[in-house]
């Protein structure tokens, strides 16, 4: 009787989490799952300070541009398009060498870069506001949250491409906000992805801080 009760509870939890996928095609579910796997692998590589973060990230973000367009999450779609472009730049920046030695290692933000960070955040908010206004997308609370996370992730990706340890702080904040947003929009697999991202971002921050400390001593 107890086993049956546990099975019923588990079944109800699964139905609650994934019932929205009953109306999706198998190919769409596979596409989202594959993109999630590639993005998780990419974040693991980022945590390890491994340049493979970028080729794997290019695949995942490219797929998510298509998925998010279909769900009218314009802010997140633009984020992934931006990630795609910044992944190309980050790949170049991380691979730069002088006399076979990598010249752009993990570092902290310089004071002069604080202003750039603020301007990027404000510019991102204004840009996304214009996009939503242009397409008349201010019809749900998710639009406002989407705008906020877009600005946060724009800053996070810019800092990541520059190999700044502070990038992880913005990833953590943005990931935490995105978990309920994606679940509400019916993207449960992606919501779970961002939950995993939150954990990996915390570990990534600790790992990069440790590397930065070693390099400075």
> Is the residue at 36 inside a domain?
yes
For 132-163, give the DSSP string. Answer: HHHTT--SSHHHHHHHHHHHHHHHHHHHHHTT
* Per-block mean pLDDT, blocks of 10 residues, the chain (217 long): 58 59 74 89 92 92 86 74 88 80 79 86 86 78 85 90 93 94 82 91 94 79
pLDDT value at position 147? 84
Place of tokens 């919501």: 191
Sort residue 110 into left (φ over 0), alpha (ψ -120 to 50) or beta: beta
Q: What is the pLDDT of residue 19?
A: 63
Question: Is 7 inside any structural domain?
Answer: no
Q: Is residue 34 part of a domain?
A: yes
* Residue 52 in domain: yes
pLDDT at residue 74, as a whole number: 72
Q: Largest Cα–Cα distance of the chain, in whole Å?
A: 70
pLDDT reported for residue 5: 60
**Confidence (pLDDT) at 198:** 95
Task: Determine the structural domain holding residue 208 and report its residue range.
Answer: 25-97+110-215
Give the pLDDT of residue 138.
Answer: 81
What is the number of structural domains in the chain?
1
Tokens for 54, please give them. Answer: 């970028």
Residue 141 covered by a domain: yes
pLDDT score for 12? 61
Instruction: Assess if residue 105 is contained within a domain.
Output: no
Buried/exposed 85-106: b ≥16 CB within 10 Å, e otherwise: ebbeebbebbeeeeeeeeeeeb
3-class DSSP state of 32 = helix
How many Cα neighbours within 13 Å face the side chain of 33? 9
User: Are the CB atoms for 171 and 155 separated by under 8 Å?
Assistant: no
How many Å apart are CA 31 and CA 67, to the nearest integer? 8
In a domain? residue 17: no
Q: State residue 17's pLDDT score.
A: 56
- 4, part of any domain: no
């Amino acid at each position: 009787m107890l086993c049956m009760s546990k099975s019923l509870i588990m079944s109800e939890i699964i139905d609650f989490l994934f019932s929205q996928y009953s109306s999706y095609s198998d190919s769409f579910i596979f596409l989202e799952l594959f993109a999630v796997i590639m993005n998780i692998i990419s974040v693991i590589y980022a945590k390890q300070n491994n340049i493979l973060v970028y080729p794997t990230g290019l695949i995942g973000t490219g797929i998510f541009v298509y998925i998010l367009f279909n769900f009218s999450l314009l802010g997140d779609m633009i984020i992934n398009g931006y990630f795609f472009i910044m992944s190309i730049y980050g790949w170049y920046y991380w691979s730069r060498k002088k006399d076979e030695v990598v010249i752009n290692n993990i570092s902290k933000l310089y004071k002069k870069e604080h202003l750039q960070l603020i301007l990027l955040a404000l510019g991102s908010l204004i840009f996304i506001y214009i996009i939503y206004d242009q397409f008349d997308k201010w019809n749900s609370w998710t639009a406002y949250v989407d705008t906020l996370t877009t600005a946060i992730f724009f800053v996070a990706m810019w800092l990541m491409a520059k190999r700044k340890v502070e990038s992880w702080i913005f990833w953590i904040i943005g990931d935490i906000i995105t978990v309920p947003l994606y679940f509400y929009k019916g993207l449960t697999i992606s919501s779970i992805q961002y939950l995993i991202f939150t954990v990996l971002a915390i570990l990534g921050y600790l790992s990069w801080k440790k590397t930065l400390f070693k390099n400075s001593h």
